[in-house]
Amino acid sequence: MTESYIRATNLLVEFPIYNASHRSLRKSLLSATTGGRVASDAGRRVTVRALDDVSFELRPGDRVGLVGHNGAGKTTMLRVLAGVYPPVSGRLVVKGSIVSLIDMSLGMEPEATGYENIFLRGIIMGLRPAEIEEKLDEIAAFSELGEDFLNMPVRTYSSGMMLRLAFAVSTAVKSDIVLMDEWLSVGDASFNDKAAKRLTQVVEESAILVLASHSPDMVKRMCNRVFSFEHGKITEISV
Amino acid sequence: MEHDNTLKSYGGLREFLAALATPHLWALLAWYDIRQRYRRSVLGPFWVTLSTGVMIGTMGLLWSVLFKSDVRAYLPFFAVGNIVWTFYSTQINEACLGFTQFENIIKQIRFPMAVYLLRILMRNLIILAHNCVIIIVVLVWLAPPLTWVAWLALPGLLLGSAAMMGASLIVSVFCTRFRDMPMIVQNLMLVMFYITPIIWRPSALGPQHQWVATYNPFAHLIEIVRAPLIEARFPVESWLWSLATAAILLIFGVMLQGRFKDRIAYWL
């Protein structure tokens, strides 16, 4: 676990915008205070530069908070770390297992039962069916939904119950690197305490946390390094 | 999960093999997809069997009257050809939307891109397995000469699936980047249906138009499944054609994926 690290050197991430009437889009976006930088590349295609020359190195023990406006590049950064958007140029090396808590209920299906959804969610998190089988009882117990509800389609759940299940599966895996978009909070007061404890434990057992957040309190509480994003550029600020 | 974006040389082959090595990401999820689709229906996926059966029964009778051919000989020919064609064409048409359909997953987590296409292929194979009931009924009922050679239809189908996987790797990339492509592919497949020996026999073409069937890869991909079943014949020439088609499609497909796999998320 101590071996895991993230090393980013001069990362550049640009989104091509197809079918855009580029002049008007360019005008309207350039003047905006939020968002990445809009420019057109050599082929006169409109591109949005989401990350611009970003370099940093994360070591075990680093708890990084990403702060900045909407559209400043925080979520894009998380997705780049998750491997979704390979940078257009620059170098990114991520060593260690990653768990992405960006979307807790990704992979879940309303028509499937609670138990089936534990598998569906687990598989999308990168678990093998045998691993999910092992954790099944623990996940079911943590969700407090009970045998009866877990055998019912998830569409019959309240949104709170649905979130509990998603949370229970999503936090069942230990991992070297945890990516999170806003600190997760779930449901009613009593469950929320339990959930907070579990989430803190997942984070403590991980080597590296990267948390994108709009809440300065949360970042202050959880993080020992803070990266501020502005127009896709990154500056490390003291905590 | 570890990644290093500078290792672009990972290439398509490594990624494709990685996809094959994680069957829970496609076989299991395809199974869930099918269960999902028919969750609250009584007949479930056998609805497909039923509607295909009705269609083949009606069309089989109609065509055999129109072409003045013996129903007992024509129906097995049409049934097998049509069911295999439906599998091929559905796979290609669905592969066009293979990445756009799973956009929400692709934008959150990185799996080998081929898992989404394998999931669609698996789905269509499950549907095909249900349609096989019709083939069995037709074959048993009309009893063409069934021998052990009929089993050779299975490796034929496997080869056909490999070719369709290759085609899926190709069309998925183009269709994700150029959103007019799915419609173009759809139209192309419709034309292919008519110029492939499915409702008509290659012999009906006459010698000067024989090339329509000879140089049509789909004709051979269907023949390798159909000939063992209805004629108890192993079509050597069609196998060679099909092997070549599958190899070319897979090689080109894997190369294309290798070149563009890192761009697909950006295009969605």
What would the pLDDT profile of A147-162 be if each residue is shown by its tens digit? 899 999 999 998 888 8
Architecture per CATH, A101-206:
3-Layer(aba) Sandwich (3.40)
Chain-chain contact of B108 with A84 (C-beta, under 8 angstroms): yes
Asked whether residue B26 carries a pLDDT value surpassing 50, the answer given is: yes
pLDDT, position B185: 96
pLDDT, position A22: 43
**Global confidence as pTM:** 0.89
pLDDT, position A186: 75
Q: Which of A15, A49, A33 is nearest to B107 (CA)?
A: A15
Pairing status of strand B3-4 against strand A89-95: antiparallel
Q: Which of B100, B129, B151, B112 is nearest to B26 (CA)?
A: B112
How far B159 CA lies from chain A's nearest CA (Å)?
28
Name the closest residue on chain B to residue A50, using Cα atoms: B266
pLDDT, position A23: 45
Chain-chain contact of B3 with A92 (C-beta, under 8 angstroms): yes
Q: Which of A175, A177, A167 is nearest to A208 (CA)?
A: A177
What would the pLDDT profile of A85-144 be if each residue is shown by its tens digit? 999 889 999 998 898 888 888 989 988 999 999 999 999 988 899 999 999 999 999 988
pLDDT, position A36: 60
What would the pLDDT profile of A29-61 be if each residue is shown by its tens digit? 555 555 566 665 555 568 888 888 899 999 998
Spatial separation of the C-alpha atoms in residues A205 and B205, rounded to whole Å: 71
Asked whether residue B6 carries a pLDDT value surpassing 60, the answer given is: no
Is B109's Cβ below 8 Å from some Cβ in A? yes
- Are A8 and A90 contacting, i.e. CB atoms less than 8 angstroms apart? yes
Q: Work out how many CB contacts closer than 8 A connect A with B.
A: 77
Name the closest residue on chain A to residue B260, using Cα atoms: A86
How far B163 CA lies from chain A's nearest CA (Å)?
27
Asked whether residue A25 carries a pLDDT value surpassing 60, the answer given is: no
Spatial separation of the C-alpha atoms in residues B186 and B203, rounded to whole Å: 27
Q: Where are the domains of chain A?
A: 5-96+212-237, 101-206
Q: How confident is the model at residue B25 (pLDDT cuts 50, 70, 90)?
A: very high
A184 versus A67: the higher-pLDDT residue is A67
Architecture per CATH, A5-96+212-237:
3-Layer(aba) Sandwich (3.40)
Interface test with B, best of A85, A95, A175 (most B CBs within 10 A): A85
Q: Which of B103, B172, B266 is nearest to A17 (CA)?
A: B266
E strand intervals along chain B? 3-4
* A 78-117 residues with CB < 8 A to B: 79, 82-87, 91-98, 100, 102-103, 106-107, 109, 111-112, 116
Name the closest residue on chain A to residue B178, using Cα atoms: A18
* A 9-28 residues with CB < 8 A to B: 15-16, 18
Interval A220-225 mean pLDDT: 90
Contact list, A86 vs chain B (CB under 8 Å): 5, 262
Domains A5-96+212-237 and A101-206 share a fold: yes
Q: What percent of chain A has pLDDT over 90?
A: 39
CA angle (A7 as vertex; A4, A11 as ends), nearest 5:
145
Asked whether residue B100 carries a pLDDT value surpassing 50, the answer given is: yes
Is B262's Cβ below 8 Å from some Cβ in A? yes
What would the pLDDT profile of B121-177 be if each residue is shown by its tens digit? 999 999 999 999 999 999 888 866 778 889 999 999 999 999 999 999 999 999 998
pLDDT, position B11: 81
What would the pLDDT profile of B184-211 be if each residue is shown by its tens digit? 999 999 999 999 999 999 888 888 888 9
